[in-house]
Structure 1
Amino acid sequence: MPIKFQGNIFTTLVLYLKSDELELINYALKKKINESPSFFKNAPIIINLSFLKKELNWNKLKKIILKNNFIILGISECFNLSLKKKIIDSGFPVFSNTKSLIKDKKIKFKKKFYKSIFYKNTIHSGQTIYAKKSDLIITNNVNEGAEIIADGNIHVYGKLSGRALAGANGDNTRKIFSTKLFSELLSISGEYCLIDSIPKNILNKSAQIYLKNGVVQIKKL
């Protein structure tokens, strides 16, 4: 067969719009980009519209997003039928939120005991490591631009500069541990924060990352 369809895991930023004021959105995007230019440049994103109660000007919003050098993969949680049609007619897909579907189905994760996968070498920029149904233990550095993903917990006994995503299968009880935290993105069960959210007194220090009431927590070890 010349083609093959297969599921995979990718890191995708979700842009939640909490205002329909386009100038305010543009200003907020520029401010966020200035905080971490290399991270946001040409970043693929999904735009979440669940907070908006009225229709906005989709064409103008699209121009603002693209002008700020983001790549729009699609839209999620668009409840306005007129706006949804305009988005689809402009060539962009509208997705349902996976986490909402999980909540609707009332799926609960029982306490799990994960096996462990070990890496002793440096994880370099451009590399992606995925520990399926396992904890991931790295006894070296994770460089900027690298990505480590685990359905279980993540342990990095070195400098964590890349992206780390634990609980990738939706288990929000998983944690991330690092002896030297400087990560560009941290995620637990789809909830994430960027490097500017790491307290200055914890940067380059030992830390643990976990979820509490749906919010990513970063604490000293």
Structure 2
Amino acid sequence: MTDTATAGARPCFQLKGATVSLTALELHYFEIGPFEDTLRDKIRQAPGFFRDIPLIVSLEKYEGLTSELDFFQIIGICRRHNIHVAGVRGGNDDQRRLARNASLALLPASARREESVTEPAAASPEADMAPTTEAFQGPVAAKIINQTVRSGQQVYAPEGDLIILAPVQAGAEVLAAGNIHVYGPLRGRALAGVHGLESARVFCQSLEAELVSIAGHYKISEDIQDHGWKSAVHIQLKDDQLVVMSLDKA
């Protein structure tokens, strides 16, 4: 027995909740040749972004046959390109069994908010006069960051907007359930609407980002350098495409 394995010694690890951003590969069908060709094209667009990233394979829009779904091939192809498949999201029981056999983590399908429509109950004078007992739910306070977000740092606003009153440096990452406001240059990665809020926006005083994402739809720097680069812009999602507009036109 080691000296540390004694009563009262500090445990060698702790389990804590953590929030990290993952790239999802939305698979429609799987054929080895087309899969690797498409992956090469994506990596060629931004080789630095894809190197050593963790990847989740999303099966929520998979239309191919389950018998054609070979996770060992997918893992092998991705590893050849320095991409690490960490798990699978969604899928039916057979597809998730195949993922488990390939030692992949199983994630639930994305939560989709559905509005239920119910007919209002008939009102009565007594009901109109009765005081409500439901507590008012005020707006979620924005998270405000005063200092520079440096390379390697991650700042996350899990419920509302994120407001940064300083630059976001290259290699940094900022995430928010709502909007992201950067009152300075945005050089790192900005991911707004991380829980699927498609009306979220990204505002910045100088667009120099490595990646911008809204509700999972993203553009890398090469895709946005012809649209408002190094100027004050706001970015929103329209018809599943990110649109960059000058703040003068907001």
TM-score normalised per structure 2: 0.74
Q: Which residue, 74, 79, 98 being the options, matches 1:66? A: 79
Check if 1:192 corresponds to 2:241: no
Supply the AA of the counterpart residue of 1:87.
A
Q: Provide the rounded CA distance (Å) in 2 between the counterparts of 1:45 and 1:179.
A: 31
Check if 1:16 corresponds to 2:26: yes
1:139-154 pair list within 5 angstroms: 139-154=165-180
Q: Provide the rounded CA distance (Å) in 2 between the counterparts of 1:89 and 1:71.
A: 17
Q: Which residue, 148, 173, 177 being the options, matches 2:199? A: 173
* 1:156 alignment counterpart: 182
Q: Provide the rounded CA distance (Å) in 1 between the counterparts of 2:138 and 2:21.
A: 24
1:71-90 pair list within 5 angstroms: 71-79=84-92, 81=94, 83-90=95-102
User: How far 1:189 moved relative to its partner?
Assistant: 3.2
The 3-state SS of whatever aligns with 1:157 is strand
* 2:103 alignment counterpart: 91
Unaligned runs of 5+ in 1: none
Question: Contact 2:46 / 2:220 at 8 angstroms: preserved in 1?
Answer: no
Q: What RMSD over aligned residues (CA atoms) do the two structures have, in Å?
A: 2.6
Check if 1:204 corresponds to 2:230: yes
Q: Provide the rounded CA distance (Å) in 1 between the counterparts of 2:203 and 2:138.
A: 18
User: How far 1:130 moved relative to its partner?
Assistant: 2.0
Supply the AA of the counterpart residue of 1:145.
G
Question: Contact 1:15 / 1:47 at 8 angstroms: preserved in 2?
Answer: yes
Structure with greater strand percent? 1
TM-score normalised per structure 1: 0.83
Supply the AA of the counterpart residue of 1:136.
L
Q: Provide the rounded CA distance (Å) in 1 between the counterparts of 2:76 and 2:219.
A: 26
Deviating more after overlay: 195-204 vs 32-41: 195-204
* 2:63 alignment counterpart: 52
Question: Contact 1:150 / 1:165 at 8 angstroms: preserved in 2?
Answer: yes
1:127-142 pair list within 5 angstroms: 127-142=153-168
From the CA coordinates, give the structure whose radius of gyration is larger. Answer: 2
1:15-34 pair list within 5 angstroms: 15-34=25-44
Question: Contact 1:114 / 1:152 at 8 angstroms: preserved in 2?
Answer: no
- 1:107-165 per-residue CA deviation (whole Å, 9 max, x = no partner) reads 8xxx9744334333321111111234343222322111101122332111221111112
Q: Provide the rounded CA distance (Å) in 2 between the counterparts of 1:35 and 1:189.
A: 21
The count of residues paired between Structure 1 and Structure 2 equals 214
Residues 119/94 of structure 1: CA separation in 2 closer, same or farther (3 Å cut)? closer
Deviating more after overlay: 187-196 vs 85-94: 187-196
User: How far 1:217 moved relative to its partner?
Assistant: 2.8
Question: Contact 1:46 / 1:74 at 8 angstroms: preserved in 2?
Answer: yes
Residues 61/121 of structure 1: CA separation in 2 closer, same or farther (3 Å cut)? same
Q: Provide the rounded CA distance (Å) in 2 between the counterparts of 1:35 and 1:121.
A: 32
